[in-house]
Amino acid sequence: TTISGNLAVQEVVEKKRTRLYVSDGNTKIRLTKFKKGAYFFGQKKPADFISSNKQTLAQLPGLTPSAINVMIAIAENEGNMDAINTWDNSFMSFGMFQWTLGVRQAPGELPVLVKKVKDQKPEHFSKYYKQYGLNVTETNEITGYFTLNGKKLMNPADKEILRTPKWAFIFGIS
């Protein structure tokens, strides 16, 4: 076991796969190592969220039963609401639609999702992102960049930091 910040990371081989158990002492997630990073299919199923939040969702314009069915079907391929992938050329993908950091120097969709959290749920943003130095910059309706401790994560060397089990854990529990 090694400690990454205040997180414990334990590497274990199970059924011929290398697993990373990451815990803050209260919550634990299990990542599977793969290529340059790891992945986690997630546990929060979109269908469960939809079922638990029907009244709130019914108030959203354009969210038809057909659109909900499409979202559930996409999640079957891409992962659950808390799915994480840190192994491919987008450095990190998160959620049922696999919002990314963007390839190479390109902006990604994930900073825009986090910007929505920052604007609509500032206490959530502060608890899960700001306290670790993560913020957003140059966001529009579709893409943007993250900053970490004030430094814009634009090139591959900068974005690489978000492949770590620490960041997978932070996004996985947020």
- Span 16-21, average pLDDT: 96
Residue 63 has pLDDT above 80, yes or no: yes
Q: Classify residue 94 by burial, with Cβ atoms within 10 Å: 0-12, 13-18, 19+.
A: buried
Which residues lie closer than 8 Å to 15 by C-beta, 6 or more apart?
Answer: none
The whole-model pTM stands at 0.86
Report, as an integer, the average pLDDT of 46-75: 82
Asked if pLDDT for residue 77 goes beyond 80, the answer is: no
Measured CA to CA, the distance from residue 88 to residue 6 in angstroms comes to 26
Do 7 and 23 meet the contact criterion of CB atoms below 8 Å apart? Answer: yes
Q: Taking a C-beta distance cutoff of 8 angstroms, is the pair 81, 96 a contact?
A: yes
Q: Report the pLDDT averaged over residues 55-83.
A: 82
Say what the pLDDT of residue 140 is: 96
